[in-house]
Amino acid sequence: MRRNDGFCDLSGKMAQGRTGVFARLLGASKDGAHGRFANCGTTPRRGCHYGPPAPHAQIRLRMSLDESYDAAAFALIHAITVFRMRPGFSGNSIRDDEIVLVIHMEKVMEKRTLGRTGLEVTVIGFGAMTIGGVFGPVDDGESNRALHAAIDAGMNFIDTSDAYGVGHSETVIGKFLNERSDRGDILIFTKGGNDMSTGSRNFTPEYIGGCLEGSLERLGMDAIDYYQLHNPNVDNMAAEDSYALLDKAKADGKIKHWGVSINTVEECYLAAEQDKPATMQMEYNVISQEAAPAFARAKEADVGVISRVPLKRGFLSGRIDEAFEFAEGDRRKGILSPENIRKFQAQLARTQEVAANLGISPAQAAIRFCVSNENVSCVIPGIRTPEQSVQNAACGESLPAEAVRRLQEV
């Protein structure tokens, strides 16, 4: 058996394939559909599908190219064993020379280091504000499917907050995590201190300590990978409100890293200069680019940067105009008022122009613009549906330099 950039059988004979970075274990079932066999392979990312030999029994292996040949061989042996144990097949019904190993190569999403946390994060992650009901009613079943689709498509982290639906987003994520065999590979980021139901913010140690404990319980976690103070202002940050508490929580093993999710450029510069928060989260998109110089300073200080709101609450997808009717409870009504929609038209038109020239959607162009900033560690578009998960996961490449320049001009 050998690895290559296409399809091969066990004898190493080349067949037709396509270049990429992933291999997927697949096979046709009797009705032509694919059925997943749980716990097949040696890593959680690997899965297998199987079916009757027609004309050969095809075992297709999904693995990343940095995995060892030994791991690939073990996965193959396991898959063949499972195949032979299928009901309706005798142990000798499939000969070894009838088993064809098919390696299907795909692209893997780029990862970047999240500042001095050292966490390796995919450039696109799951923004979970949407599944908390902040933008109107949500279907928890669809939210669950969206989460599964995002991780299956290559994302490795989810960003949420106790404020999203008064903990509802965290609860949905906690249930989802219990369903994943690759739970240990999924990074969870959450926040505390901003009560969106009342509009109040509180960064006292007593309040943040309670927020943290509540998040741990809802998520079903012993330790949160990355915890953020949710929208502290300059005064809160200058006073280092709850910084000592978060340091203690880290020492106690309740969180692994901490930082701030902030709203202004001044706060970004302060976060970079303080040498306390490991990472900052800030709005950054084609319309709101003013934080870009602060991001450069953050990178110099080894502070990670999470770019949020890359689609300006969906506006840069081109689907929201002045006549758009927001659902009851959708907080975007104020941000995307008719006045602001008129004000943002130039940026939308330029995004659509760039997208058309590249043969991609405006949403893809907008997300990839954020990815193109080398000072940005990762981007978190809000996701509501499985389709959005797949579409957003495909936005992990930088735009061509000329396209970036065009979008920076607006």
The per-residue pLDDT for range 224-235, each reduced to its tens digit, is 999 999 999 999
* Residues 382 and 289 reside in one and the same domain: yes
Residue 112 CA to its chain's centroid (Å): 12
**250: β partners:** none
Instruction: Find the farthest-apart pair of alpha carbons in the chain and give their distance in angstroms, rounded.
Output: 74
Question: Looking at 12-165, which runs of residues are DSSP E strands?
Answer: 14-15, 22-23, 36-37, 48-49, 57-61, 99-103, 105-106, 111-113, 120-122, 126-127, 157-159
β-bridge pairing 226-230 and 258-261: parallel
What pLDDT, in 10s, does the model give residues 57-88?
455 555 454 444 455 555 655 655 555 555 55
* Residue after which a domain boundary falls, among 91, 106, 121: 106
Indicate the helix (H) or strand (E) that contains 388.
Answer: helix 386-393
Residues 12 and 159 reside in one and the same domain: no
pLDDT band for position 100 (50/70/90)?
low
pLDDT at 40 over 90: no
Residues 92 and 137 in one domain: no
Vertex 209: Cα angle to 204 and 215 (nearest 5): 130
- One domain for residues 174 and 101: no
Q: Is residue 327 situated within a structural domain?
A: yes
Are the C-beta atoms of residues 378 and 307 closer than 8 Å to each other? yes
Residues 93 and 117 in one domain: no
Examine the fold and report which residue of 84, 106, 128 is the final residue of a domain before the chain moves on.
106
Alpha carbons within 13 angstroms on the beta-carbon side of residue 225 total 19
- Domain co-membership, 85 together with 120: no
Mean pLDDT value of segment 372-384 = 98
Residue 265 has pLDDT above 90, yes or no: yes
Residue whose pair of structure tokens reads 């991780």 in the numeric block: 151
Are the CB atoms for 313 and 359 separated by under 8 Å?
Answer: no
What confidence tier does 322 reach under pLDDT thresholds 50, 70, 90?
Answer: confident
Q: How many residues does the chain have?
A: 410
Look at residue 112 and tell me whether its pLDDT is greater than 90. yes
**Contact residues for 183 (Cβ-Cβ < 8 A; gap 6+):** 44, 177
Q: Where are the alpha helices (DSSP H) in 120-200?
A: 140-152, 168-177
**Angstrom distance (rounded) from CA 367 to CA 371:** 7
Alpha carbon of residue 234 to chain centroid: 29
Question: 119 and 95 in one domain?
Answer: no
93 and 196 both lie in a single domain:
no
Owning domain of residue 81: 7-106
Q: Reduced to 3 states, what is the DSSP secondary structure of residue 288?
A: coil
pLDDT in tens, 335-360: 889 898 999 999 999 999 999 999 99
According to DSSP, the β-strands at 22-23 and 105-106 are: antiparallel
Residues 6+ apart with CB under 8 A from 165: 131, 132, 133, 134, 138
pLDDT of 77 reads: 59
Residue 180 identity = R
Same domain membership, residue 224 and residue 94: no
Please state whether the peptide bond connecting residue 55 to the residue before it is cis, i.e. omega within 30 degrees of 0. Answer: yes
Number of domains in the chain: 2
Amino acid at 355: A
**Bond before 277 cis per omega within 30 degrees:** no
Helices (H) and strands (E) in the chain, counts: 14, 20
Q: Confirm whether 1 is domain-assigned.
A: no
pLDDT number for residue 80? 57
Half-sphere exposure of 23 (CA within 13 A, CB side): 29
